[in-house]
Amino acid sequence: MASDEHFSVDGTQLEAWASLKSFQVKDEQGSEKRDDDPGNPTVDFKGEKRRNDTHQSRTDPDSRLYRKGKGKEAKLSYLGNVLIDNRNGLVLQAEVLQATGTAEREAALTMLEAERQWQQAQAKRFTLGADRGFDDRGFVTGLRARHVTPHIAVREDRRSALDERTTRHAGYAISQRKRKRVEEVFGWGKSVGLLRKLRHRGLRLVNWVFELTMGVYNLVRLKNLGVVASFT
């Protein structure tokens, strides 16, 4: 049912169940400064540069201040990542990491390794479709070391890690079309799976909820493909 050779990967921002008001400066010992009224703390952000290495949410310390792109609002967030097969868009691997600029690429390599072990195919060559955010020389090198052909969208604002040796092939164009199925997963997860605003705190619990939601998505997807009916 699922492809064992052609995959796509992407990550999405998950808004944490914590307000920006809770994102307060740490003291020298690394603990958070306390307010006289913890139920409704007085916070003045005027002129203050808030950074993850100096600030931390009091209500969800695992969350990180993160913006998905230029011009986007920074929010306390996690990053939910999925690896899907290109044939039917089923979620094969899912993982939540703390929101950083490299988390999506780190998760992609981890999920590929997990999928390879699941298939017990150490030397089998895969293809991986992804958006421009994955067009990073170190990431592409990591893929090729794992026998994975990078079918990544080429960045135009700087020199790409890919060239025509990869992008000229018909398979590359197919992967670029198929990778957009990831957006269907995230769209369903946020609109139906209630992931648009998290209701749990802590990386471990958020990861569990995310994996559970992706499992439910697969059941819905299998039903739409007519697979579930064939077993009843």
Per-residue model confidence (pLDDT) at position 128: 97
Residue 72 lies in a domain: no
Per-residue model confidence (pLDDT) at position 100: 95
Per-residue model confidence (pLDDT) at position 226: 87
Query: What CA–CA distance (Å, rounded) separates 166 from 168?
Result: 6
Least confident of 23-27, 42-46, 166-170: 42-46
The 10s digit of each residue's pLDDT in 107-136 is 999 999 999 888 776 667 899 999 999 999
- Which residue has better confidence, 33 or 84? 84
Range with the largest mean pLDDT of 50-59, 73-82, 155-164: 73-82
Residue 209 lies in a domain: yes
Residue 95 lies in a domain: yes
Is the confidence at residue 154, as pLDDT, over 90?
Answer: yes
Per-residue model confidence (pLDDT) at position 3: 85
Helix axes 137-145, 103-119, angle to 10 degrees: 10
The CATH code of the domain that includes 146 is 3.30.420.10
Domain count, the chain: 1
Residue 170 lies in a domain: yes
Residue 69 lies in a domain: no
Residue 58 lies in a domain: no
Is the confidence at residue 34, as pLDDT, over 60?
Answer: no
Per-residue model confidence (pLDDT) at position 31: 47
Which residues are within 8 A (CB) of 169 and not within 5 positions of it... i.e. 6 or more apart? Answer: none
Interval 197-209 mean pLDDT: 97
One-letter amino acid identity for 167?
A: T
Query: What CA–CA distance (Å, rounded) separates 46 from 48?
Result: 5
Give the pairing type, strands 126-130 and 91-98: unpaired
Least confident of 56-65, 116-125, 160-169, 201-210: 116-125
Give the pairing type, strands 91-98 and 55-57: unpaired
Alpha helices in the chain (DSSP H): 103-119, 137-145, 164-167, 170-178, 181-191, 203-225, 227-230
Residue 168 lies in a domain: yes
Residue 27 lies in a domain: no
Residue 95: which domain range? 6-16+78-193+200-227
